[in-house]
Amino acid sequence: MSKKGRVKGLRPFTNHTSPSPFKERGIKGVRFNKMKDYFAYGSNMDESQMNQRCHDSPVLVGIARLNDYRFIINTRGVATVVTPSSHKVYGIVWSITETCEKSLDDCEGVKYGTYTKCTINVDIVTGKVVPALVYLASDSTHGSARSGYMEKIVAAAERHRLPDDYVEELRTWVKQK
């Protein structure tokens, strides 16, 4: 990290609208999807999983931090974040389409109440604060991770170079089986 708090090699956050290839070709009246920022703190930090869930290619914006929340594994064995807390949760911001959001809603069980959606401001490492979609589990009771689940999250956190102390905190959940 540089003195300005930026991680080398990360693209700065730019806009929320996907470029329209039709505009360049002069085709009028073609609608294109508006992009939305999504903060992933669990298994959706994994690029392969996100590409399987979102066939229209989510765009990695960068590392971000959610202040005043804490990462936990609930009694269902999956990740959520809880507040109030003086902790910070690190994760990845993806720029996603409406189609991707609907797919994530299905995967996260929104229609069954397994997770709810909200918009929370997150700090991107470039220094910009953005409102991002965050999924919160309805079950916020501490539990143990499903087999292989935390290993996937830790591996993604390492690949994305989340802060070492935070990766160590995630590793403690692997040991709590």
What's the Cα-to-Cα distance from 68 to each of 4, 65, 71, 82, 89, rounded to whole Å?
22, 10, 10, 9, 8
- Residue span of the structural domain in which 69 resides: 21-174
**Amino acid in position 73:** I
In the chain the beta strands, taken as DSSP E runs, fall at: 36-40, 59-67, 70-73, 79-82, 88-96, 115-124, 129-137
For residue 16, being part of any structural domain is answered with no
Predicted confidence at residue 33, as pLDDT, reads: 57
For residue 144, being part of any structural domain is answered with yes
For residue 5, being part of any structural domain is answered with no
For residue 117, being part of any structural domain is answered with yes
Structure tokens at 65: 């931090």
Phi and psi, residue 157, nearest 5°: -60, -40
For residue 12, being part of any structural domain is answered with no
For residue 14, being part of any structural domain is answered with no
The total of structural domains in the chain comes to 1
Per-residue pLDDT of the chain (177 residues; tens, 9 = 90+): 444 443 333 333 333 443 433 333 334 444 455 899 999 999 999 999 999 999 888 999 999 999 999 999 999 999 999 998 899 999 999 999 999 999 999 999 999 999 999 999 999 988 899 999 999 999 999 999 999 999 999 999 999 999 999 999 999 998 775
For residue 63, give the CATH number of its domain.
Answer: 3.10.490.10
Tell me which residue of 115, 141, 128, 142 sits closest to 44, measured CA to CA: 115
For residue 154, being part of any structural domain is answered with yes
For residue 153, being part of any structural domain is answered with yes
Predicted confidence at residue 177, as pLDDT, reads: 58
